[in-house]
Structure 1
Amino acid sequence: MDLRLRGKTVLITGASKGIGLACARGFAAQGCDLHLAARSGALLEAARAEITATHDVRVTLHVGSLSDDTAMRALAEAAGEVDILVNNAGDIPAGDLEAVDDAAWRRGWDLKVFGYISLTRAYWARMKARGHGVIINDIGNSGENFDARYIAGSSGNASLMAFTKALGAVSLDHGVRVVGINPGPVATERMVKIMKRRALDWHGDESRWEELFDKYPGKRPATAEEVADLTLFLASPRAGYITGTIVTIDGGIAARGSII
């Protein structure tokens, strides 16, 4: 299927690894020019080298922390006009209410919750003014499948779900679409960190995190490429009437009401 994305310009945060990098590869394969943002300059340079070696697209790198509103406004200014924004940077800590202190909770929300809101605000005005654009928020299924052992993440993701639905409900009146994606467990470094914390809570031993695979649908997590494929479709004109909604990709975990 031709997604009709060739020639589009895409900004992806958290683009140096995991879902963000998989999205970068996918959009490049569709002929999109890229703005990739993350903290690790070395990983971004490696991503650009890989992508430009196989695809005739422009890849611009934006290296730095995205943990406050000033940084997000600076990123939007540096990247300029884009057709598609993929909000993906985030690392909210795992743990229950007693394990996550105020400082850790605020750091996690500054990067993900307020980060998504700040960058969306910066691009919403531009997209609205020109009458087109797509904003994709990579959120997480704990926002609909509440988990006391990931309480900061569940709370933050639920907030971003509400934000996405509220803005997306009116955005198409201005030619803009706002959509959320709720991955469940995905085979990334971040998933390993969360699952180690869960193994510690459940089994008293973080090294037993791989045993939790037995609880997954199909006995595996999703791949980053599966999430990227969904992102590309939702960002494309093929999904032109999809806005103000959240698409869950978790093998049915949230539908089961299961906490993995």
Structure 2
Amino acid sequence: MDLQVRDKGYLVVGGTAGMGLAGARVLAADGASIVVVGRDQERADRAAAELVAAGAAKAKGLAFDVSIEGQAALAVKGAVDFLGRLDGIAVTTGTKGQMPIESTDDEWIAAFRDLLLGVSRSVEAALPHLIETRGTVVTTAAFSVRSPELVRLPYASLKGAVALFTKGVAKAYGKHGVRANCIAPGAIETDSLHAMRQQVADARGWPYETALERVMTDEWGMHVALARPGKPEEVGDLMAFLLSPRAGYLTGALVNIDGGTDF
């Protein structure tokens, strides 16, 4: 499918690895210009070089931590300066995972900055540019916004806020032609889960091919209809589609991509 993204510019915050980089690769393969943002400059530079090799018209990596006040605005400015325009932003940040409901105020506040403020700051900084191009916003929540896990309740709560924030952006800025959608992934085998697969297999003597699936079912209580974790590139395909003009009448949606988790 031609995503119609040639001559368009995209910013992927959290785009130096995992689902964000997977989405950027799909855009690159169709000739888009891309800026990826992460917290490490060397990793950002490697990601940008990979995107150019994959077909991007041009690509650049920037190092910013959007959970810190002022950094998101600088990231957006750097992207617009490089791209010359901004047709879409994807924000895939937020790593504060396993926290119980009994977490301290400081832990909740740190998670709030990481999981929600990083998203809202990035999107708010991008919106004036997206109005000019009738552009699009994509954020990531999680399947747990529909079925909260008690060991990750702060995470699920704040990801729920991301989903509602995104829907609000869609409603408020639709009159300007701006679309906004939120992706709700299940367990996706990014680098961290891939490493867990090997660690669990080694520690417990389980077959490597099924070690992660056993943890998901037996310990996390996740019942996945497709009986496997997702792949970053599967989420990346969805992310790129939502960013592209091919999804031109889709806005305000929370899109599950979880293999059928906990129907």
| TM-score interval, normalised by the smaller of the two chains | 0.7 to 0.9
Cα distance change of structure 1 residues 56 and 71 upon mapping to structure 2, 3 Å threshold: closer
Q: Which residue of 1 aligns with 2:120?
A: 117
Counterpart among 92, 97, 103 of residue 93 in structure 1: 97
Q: Distance in 2 between matches of 1:194 and 1:112?
A: 22
Q: Distance in 1 between matches of 2:234 and 2:120?
A: 25
C-alpha contact 2:30 2:55 (8 A) present in aligned 1: no
The number of equivalent residue pairs is 245
Alignment of 1:1-260 (within 5 A): 1-80=1-80, 81-98=85-102, 100-128=103-131, 130=132, 132-191=134-193, 210-214=213-217, 215-254=223-262, 256=263
Q: Distance in 2 between matches of 1:110 and 1:192?
A: 26
Q: Distance in 1 between matches of 2:155 and 2:195?
A: 13
Q: Distance in 1 between matches of 2:26 and 2:185?
A: 17
TM-score normalised by the chain length of structure 2: 0.85
Per-residue deviation, 1:101? 3.0
TM-score normalised by the chain length of structure 1: 0.86
Report the AA paired with residue 217 of structure 1. Answer: A
Residue segments in structure 1 that go unaligned for 5+ positions in a row: 200-207
C-alpha contact 1:93 1:104 (8 A) present in aligned 2: no
Identity in percent: 28
Q: Distance in 1 between matches of 2:74 and 2:158?
A: 23
Structure 1 outlier segments of 4+, above 4 Å: 190-195
Cα distance change of structure 1 residues 78 and 56 upon mapping to structure 2, 3 Å threshold: closer
C-alpha contact 1:213 1:219 (8 A) present in aligned 2: no
Q: Distance in 1 between matches of 2:56 and 2:138?
A: 24
After superposing the two structures, state which structure 1 stretch, 58-67 or 149-158, moved more. 58-67
Residue segments in structure 2 that go unaligned for 5+ positions in a row: 201-210, 218-222
SS of equivalent residue, structure 1 residue 217: coil
C-alpha contact 1:167 1:178 (8 A) present in aligned 2: yes
Deviations 1:67-93 (A, max 9, x none): 123111111222123111001111122
